[in-house]
Amino acid sequence: GRARPNHSEPRGRDGRGGEKEEEMEGWHPLYPGHIPTSPLQKALLAAGSAVMALYDPYRHDMVAVLGETTGCLALPNLRDKMKNHPEGYRILQERPRICLSTLDMARLQGLPDGSLGREYVRFLEDNKVSPDTRMPPKFVDDEELAYVIQRYREVHDLMHTLLGMPTNMLGEVVVKWFEAIQTGLPMCVLGAAFGPVRLSTRKLQVLATELVPWAIRSGLNASCVLNIYYEQRWEQPVESLREELGIFPPP
């Protein structure tokens, strides 16, 4: 699964195998858009993206880079949870995508109020967001793990739907607390820890006394949210799916 040197590359002009070429010369991408990077390059990308993401939490490109360059421990753990679950394993095998080209928006809009599909579309409409804004992975050096983080990104809006949280800063922080517990991704932990600094005193009080304790309890109690084949659950009532997962009703 890791990027491998391409031994068919021509040797350097000095006849010594091209020692003077750059370190990553001769490496090839594992999937479309993949950019092979060394550990040092990943560390530099992580540091830079962390600074930018803290400065502007809505820089989704920086948040995405941070997630990929710091997820080396969390992503294999998530992949293993999916492999050990019947529905999660099927997702890994079939690689479904949640984007406008795969969604029948008219059908979802026609589903009953309270169903996952209808409430998901309502969330997209109310918050003026699109599933196509999720960036494809670039810096994950394993093709299967790249799909895992892509899947995490594409179900993020479904987490908002299940948790009943909007896309404002308060809602994003609450979702990040839930996702930090669920995924262990350092990017989620960072967002959960530092996102509140931009909130007002009143919102901080609500966050600390009600929303964060609920998000933590739900994250610990819920089964892995990546093990749900959401595309086959559109008709299921949101409350039923919350109960199945183990997410407590929003306060």
What is the count of structural domains for the chain?
A: 1
Residue 16 lies in a domain: no
Residue 24 lies in a domain: no
Residue 195 lies in a domain: yes
pLDDT in tens, the chain (251 residues): 544 444 444 444 444 444 434 445 556 789 999 999 999 999 998 899 888 877 777 777 888 888 888 898 999 999 999 999 999 999 999 999 999 999 999 999 999 999 999 999 999 999 999 999 888 999 999 999 999 999 999 999 999 999 999 999 999 999 999 999 999 999 999 889 888 888 899 999 999 999 999 999 999 999 999 999 999 999 999 999 999 999 999 88
**Residue 136 lies in domain:** 74-245
Q: Give pLDDT, residue 17.
A: 44
Residue 250 lies in a domain: no
154: tokens are: 């594409």
Residue 201, classified by CB atoms within 10 Å of its CB into exposed (0-12), middle (13-18) or buried (19+), is exposed
Residue 2 lies in a domain: no
Contact between 109 and 124 under an 8 Å Cβ cutoff? The reply is no
d(CA 47, CA 70): 10
